[in-house]
Chain A
Amino acid sequence: MSMLLDVKGLTKRFGGLTANADITFDVKRGEILGIIGPNGAGKSTLFDLITGFQPPDAGEVFLDGRRITGLRPDLVSALGVARTFQKLKPFPDLTVIENVIVGALARTAHMRAARDAALESLAFVDLLEKRNHFARELSTGQRKRLELARGLATQPRLILMDEVTGGVDQRTIPGLVELVLELKRRGVTIVTIEHNMQVMMRIADRILALHAGRRIAFGAPEEVRKDAAVVDAYLGSAADAA
């Protein structure tokens, strides 16, 4: 059986900077793949290359065996790939429910069906109460949940989550972790960028570690954690910062 996502040799340069250098990894159906790496390691760029927001300079991306390299973002989405953004992008002048309806409309043109699907999605992320607020009124944690609900409303096979627990207050982290695990139980394949190593060790089935645009480790969480290059590049610098 082929992998759900197959990334082969992805490379992206911005002028003299190589944001992604020859990155290869795969994602199995139903797993949670974690991506770690210090700031500037190229994690978000990798998401942009996979979802079509930027064209790669070299390399290939396959979704379920189908080549999607450089495909426009809306077409990638239509194939069942959702994403959240590190810098959150809710639709500020739409209400919370309207935000999610936009996502649900990817699967139905019927407004009532879209509304009901959006309500389900909001209930899943525990944001039903805020449904009639404008998105611009939400806290960071709530906006992360909103973005997740909006992406899930497109009924993705694969969701790429950029720092779900980043920048939210500590108390809300267990709830977000529970959400991610529940998603996995429902059969959604997840790729998640995460700085919180405790969270990562708990949820990830496998981990991809990046540093300065290169893959430095890829495998089971315990192995990656002990990997000398990872300890040096990521955990070491994180310990320094802490």
Chain B
Amino acid sequence: MASDQARMLEAARAEPLWPRPPLWATLAGAAIAALLLVFPFVFTATFHHHLLILICLYALMAQSWNVIAGLSGQISLGHAIFFGIGAYASTVLFAKYGITPWFGLLAGMFISALAAIAIGIPTLRLKGHYFAIATLLIGSSVQIIFQRWEWVGAASGLYVPIVRAQPWLYLQFHASKVPYYYLALGAAAAAYLIVWKLRRSRLGFRLQAVRDEPEAAASLGIAVAKHKVLAFMISAAMMSVAGTFYAQYVLVLDPERLFSVDISIIVVLMTVLGGTGTLWGPALGAAILVPLSEYSRIWLGGTGRTIDLFVYGILILLICMWRPAGLLSLFEERIRRRGGQR
């Protein structure tokens, strides 16, 4: 009996630290990565580039929400705050001081992380739905502040001054959308790589422990409140990156749009659809919902403005009924189980 245990322990120690994904998953991943890399040369229509840029940005935004909600279990309904901060930080620095948006990107991440501390310290102590309610209300307040703030253009917003020289320094590409596509793809890829690493780190494990059972987490030496705030900071900084790239892409800041509840909600819908707490769920959700929204806008024109939300609603309803853990949860669970042993 004792030697049985010893043998089993030896065998378990010899296992890889992380379960290897099955071959089909590796192949599918490689195929998708290759497709994404050559996409602009295969599909040359500007609209397709636009579509993929949005998918990448939304995949990044949904992953950002997934860090706070999926990993640490705190539902934020005010994520547009950080999207807006990212957009404003780079644009204000460039429009008023001529500072490159690359620096603005970092400044936005930093300010967003600070904002996450300021919002998170008082609100993340609250149990239950209070954090969700608080972020929703703070989100609306921040929007109103930016709509009244003369220095940053108040309700009419700001334009990113057009510069044609040194496109990679000023992050403006007027001849083609392809550079924007690679920028967005790179930003999304970096975010997924970081979250992939995070999920395998001590911090990642601790966040999941806080999500599942905060009291048990505390009994194992985890400072619960501090970890929630940390997750919120990481999430906010990621969201801010999407804001900066979005501002450089559309070159106009409209506080009505940037800080809208729509943005806070859409990242929730995408993540829930794809699979909250999974690594690839947010990307899957973005890849489904962005085309849905863009195509419904084309087919239905101005009259179809809200049709996409209608379809989102139905999709979410179906997901809640049939697969509450999201579309991807089935696969990821199988992989974590190491070959589906029961």
Which residues of A come within 8 Å of B, CB atoms? 51, 53, 72-74, 77-78, 82-83, 85, 89-95, 98, 101-103, 105-106, 109, 111-112, 114-116, 119-120, 123, 126, 128-129, 131-134, 147, 150-151, 154
Contact = CB atoms under 8 A, between A and B. Distances in A.
A82 B201 CA distance: 23
A147 B220 CA distance: 11
A210 B239 CA distance: 54
A80 B183 CA distance: 48
Nearest to A119: B12
B208 interface: yes
Given A95-B336, A112-B17, A128-B9, A74 B221 contact: yes
B150 interface: no
Nearest to B218: A73
B49 interface: no
Contacts, number: 106
Nearest to B338: A132
Q: Chain B contact residues: over half helix, strand or loop, or mixed?
A: helix
A111 B200 CA distance: 8
B8 interface: yes
B209 interface: yes
Contacts of B337: 95, 132-134
9 nearest CB pairs, A to B: A91-B212, A89-B216, A73-B218, A77-B221, A106-B221, A89-B213, A102-B209, A123-B9, A74-B223
7 contacts: A51-B219, A73-B218, A74-B222, A77-B219, A102-B206, A102-B220, A102-B222
Given A85-B215, A128-B8, A119 B220 contact: no
A159 to B, nearest CB: 11
Contacts of A126: 5
B205 A74 contact: no
A78 B221 CA distance: 5
Given A111-B201, A111-B202, A123-B9, A92 B220 contact: no
B137 to A, nearest CB: 29
Given A90-B213, A95-B337, A105-B205, A82 B219 contact: yes
B9 A91 contact: no
A116 B213 contact: no
B96 interface: no
Contacts of A101: 205
A94 B332 CA distance: 12
B199 to A, nearest CB: 11
Contacts of B127: none
Contacts of A132: 336-338, 341
B13 interface: yes
A146 to B, nearest CB: 11
B217 interface: yes
B277 interface: yes
Given A77-B220, A91-B216, A95-B336, 15 more contacts: A74-B218, A74-B220, A74-B223, A82-B219, A89-B213, A89-B216, A90-B213, A91-B213, A93-B277, A94-B208, A102-B205, A102-B217, A111-B201, A116-B13, A123-B8
A66 B212 CA distance: 32
A92 B213 CA distance: 8
A93 B208 contact: yes
A104 to B, nearest CB: 9
Interface in B328-342: 333, 336-338, 341-342
Interface string B215-253: 111111111100000000000000000000000000000
Contacts of B12: 119, 123, 128, 131
Nearest to B5: A123
Given A72-B223, A116-B13, A123-B8, A85 B216 contact: yes
A133 B338 CA distance: 10
Contact of B208 (A91, A120, A147, A150): A91
A225 to B, nearest CB: 31
A126 B215 CA distance: 25
A101 B206 CA distance: 10
Given A90-B213, A112-B17, A126-B5, A77 B218 contact: yes
Interface string B164-178: 000000000000000
Nearest to A106: B221
Nearest to A150: B220
Interface string B5-17: 1001100110001
A154 B209 CA distance: 14
A63 to B, nearest CB: 14
B220 A106 contact: yes
Contacts of B223: 72, 74
A90 B216 contact: yes
A93 B209 CA distance: 9
B326 to A, nearest CB: 13
Contacts of B201: 111
A119 B342 CA distance: 19
B9 to A, nearest CB: 5
Nearest to A100: B220
Contacts of B336: 95, 132
B215 A115 contact: no
B209 A94 contact: yes
Given A89-B215, A119-B13, A151 B220 contact: yes
